Structure 1
């Protein structure tokens, strides 16, 4: 921690060094030469820095334009090359899902080739068995559907009267139909068109077979390519990883961390997605079986599979059991029970199971997931919707580990982009007091129990002042000197005053214990700012924290500098303890002058200086305190409360 050093206004002023006296004519000649040299420099023309200044000013704009052009080229390449990139992306996704099983078999001593073969056979066998079962269930249900036609007709006959009444737009629709009919009849009267009937040639069976084969060939070819890529990825995972590391540049350590992070996040996401879908599909099947909906197991499997498709999959999986419940039961109870089951499972899955299992597995914000789903669906269709979350996770990892793409982590990540002090300060700069109070209350309430005591509340508020509010005002103090304009300072000061007023109303101190007769009066502390308005806000925070700790304290709206300049110290009559708060980075010189003036006029004062503008600094040496004529010093509000509370006379001492 840096040692104490005197303030700039304590440093001695440099005096001119005595030397031989020069004649007035020599001084004039020297002045003429210096002015001539400066004029020559002015005539020499602008410097290189002045010449390059306009070019340097447009560099940020050029960088943004180049970035937008590169992004457009990449998006165009993703769209044009979707036929090639889609199988590779699907294969990589399946590789992430199956690689843990292959690695586990390899650790058990099985060669990697046999491990890959066994895993692929088991995966294809499971898919084939599921397809056979689903096909059988669909066949049996399609055979039973004609028996439900009478039930459907009766229900539609009962429902139809509710939709036959006059609608809101019926009159407008009739008018439009009338106008359209009149226009059509007018055209028919003006010209007669000879009707021509086009007869399509008969299609031969072999042509039908070729058309059907062409429709089936494309998905079969894509499936075969995906299967081949999955096998190759599982066989040579380490080789592919080495090639990716080499492509990502010479910093292999950073690239290795990025690949490991992406693999961990995507693998965890896929496993959690599988668990979430199973936790939805199994209760769905059991619930539909208990209710009596035919094909309950089929609808449970379909619900688990379709939930891999975000947003659209859950809605599509709910349509089939609801339609069948409508068709099977002559009444409405089966449909209502099915709807209640689906709503219950959706509520549990979205609000309990998914937050519990997912947690921070992907690190993506909710808005970025929705935007990513829209973006990848527009590029690659339904398959892009399935791949949207894993692909966006890869972009998030790139933004985290590549410095030039850090904006991706800011746009896509779920972590807060501002620390609590910066977050609070941004609300205060904008003058948004309501959101600032929300930030403060949220931070304080996190440290409180459901039924906090007065002491817990005092500690939580003091901790907020020390860890959030004071650092925020410290940043503001630095910006006061460099970039803040007078209107911005005024808006910030008013917002901070309203914030502190709201916190004092919400977190009220307990009533002070009255002093019994014959006992010494309680400690009375007055907190005052040294110079700036943010110094006065610090004094308000200190006084509030002391009151919460049971100390009789108050603050003054006028800074100590103003009081000393006006010479009216009646404000401090009867005050025993004065705390001067300062956000200046080096206020010791000015504080020394203030403490000396206060000692001369108010010798009874116990003076404490709170140096908030020097965080992390060590305690002042006794010699420094003595030279300042101050009794104590503090660097945090919690230090001040501990100092004052320890000085309070206890009941035992008073007795």
Structure 2
């Protein structure tokens, strides 16, 4: 009797086997999907973690930004023969001295101007009284509507500590955080100089540590170059604003130039705040409404020229940052860290974009269509 064919073997032979490369792609996509879910969960939890632990996370992030900004200066000081620790300390002292000098030029006249704000507001309210009179029917309508609904308007006054009390309570913690940030900056710069010196003496130039050092050096060069260029542009804006404030007869023109220099580091939000201050002071001190609007309109024209012609021409397309990304970064970091977060938002965004350009950008939409999750970074191909 002839051997009968085994039906199980025939069925197994009829089932097509996936090629090895298909199995590998499926495994890679599964790992990428798990990584994508982990990234989404981290993105959702990160704001709450950073907000609650701001005392822990804000100093190292600020120190990292300061390290990237001061690293070129520390490198120059180290090249002229200074020891690493002395170069790091001198770079921090130069930065601290510049900040203290700038705050002295800005804050001293600003405190004197704060005392004049109530008088300015009174003048502005008197000049716009006729405009408010034209909108008086809205208040009458609200009163009639509240009376018909049986509700009477009530004024609620909440007791809150004064500004002096708030400053007195916040000063010890602020001083402690500043000291911790400066110490972290010093050790980061000093450690970075020692690591660079050790890598330069290493004979193995193809290992992972050297490649990471190259990536970090590229990130540092791009971010520090961008911030230095923007600082020079803002310095020119500050000089022009100081001259314009002197020409318009505003008090403390150096203060106005310093405010323009500082506010211009905060894109979109900073110029709007500068325009609001110029409008308030102009309307509160000028002889008429039309004359009071002149400083604000002049700054608006200066900012339009700088933002649309000067900055794009100097920075170029390579260092241009998306306006949407800037606004999202400002709103995100100001939400979790307040004013320090708003000031750090653009440098943090630049660091993240520079690292993604070197290490690879997430390709979420392409991943859903079958492409890899990460595009290769431009810095890896160099």
TM-score by length of 1: 0.46
3-state secondary structure, aligned to 1:381: helix
- Report the equivalent of 1:270: 227
- Contact kept in structure 2, 1:88 and 1:229, CA below 8 Å: yes
- Report the equivalent of 1:331: 288
Query: Shift in Å at residue 272 of structure 1?
Result: 1.4
Between stretches 168-177 and 95-104, larger displacement belongs to 168-177
Query: Shift in Å at residue 225 of structure 1?
Result: 1.1
- Report the equivalent of 2:276: 319
Query: Shift in Å at residue 86 of structure 1?
Result: 1.4
- Contact kept in structure 2, 1:286 and 1:296, CA below 8 Å: yes
Alignment gaps of 5+ in structure 1: 1-31, 186-199, 412-416, 418-655
Distance 1:101 1:254, change over 3 A: closer
Distance 1:243 1:174, change over 3 A: farther
Query: Shift in Å at residue 155 of structure 1?
Result: 5.4
- Report the equivalent of 2:68: 96
Alignment gaps of 5+ in structure 2: 154-158, 200-205, 368-374, 376-382
3-state secondary structure, aligned to 2:82: coil
- Contact kept in structure 2, 1:116 and 1:235, CA below 8 Å: yes
- Report the equivalent of 2:148: 179
Q: Distance in 1 between matches of 2:354 and 2:97?
A: 34
1:260 matched to 2:213:
no
3-state secondary structure, aligned to 2:92: helix
Query: Shift in Å at residue 158 of structure 1?
Result: 4.2
Query: Shift in Å at residue 312 of structure 1?
Result: 1.9
The 5-angstrom pairing of residues 192-203 of structure 1 reads none
Of the candidates 281, 303, 306, which is equivalent to residue 346 of structure 1? 303
Query: Shift in Å at residue 285 of structure 1?
Result: 0.8
1:387 matched to 2:355:
no
CA RMSD of aligned residues (A): 4.2
Distance 1:183 1:166, change over 3 A: closer
Distance 1:57 1:127, change over 3 A: closer
1:42 matched to 2:10:
yes
Query: Shift in Å at residue 106 of structure 1?
Result: 2.3
- Relative contact order (C-alpha < 8 Å, sep 6+): which is higher? 2
- Report the equivalent of 2:187: 232
The 5-angstrom pairing of residues 90-239 of structure 1 reads 90-142=62-114, 145=116, 149=119, 153=122, 156-166=125-135, 169=138, 172-180=141-149, 182=150, 213-239=168-194
Query: Shift in Å at residue 129 of structure 1?
Result: 2.6
Q: Distance in 1 between matches of 2:188 and 2:314?
A: 28
- Contact kept in structure 2, 1:322 and 1:339, CA below 8 Å: yes
- Contact kept in structure 2, 1:106 and 1:115, CA below 8 Å: yes
Distance 1:259 1:294, change over 3 A: same
Q: Distance in 1 between matches of 2:42 and 2:259?
A: 39
- Number of aligned residues: 350
Query: Shift in Å at residue 107 of structure 1?
Result: 2.0
> Larger % of helix: which?
2
Query: Shift in Å at residue 298 of structure 1?
Result: 0.5
Of the candidates 361, 377, 386, which is equivalent to residue 334 of structure 2? 377
Query: Shift in Å at residue 342 of structure 1?
Result: 0.8
Of structures 1 and 2, the larger Rg is shown by 1
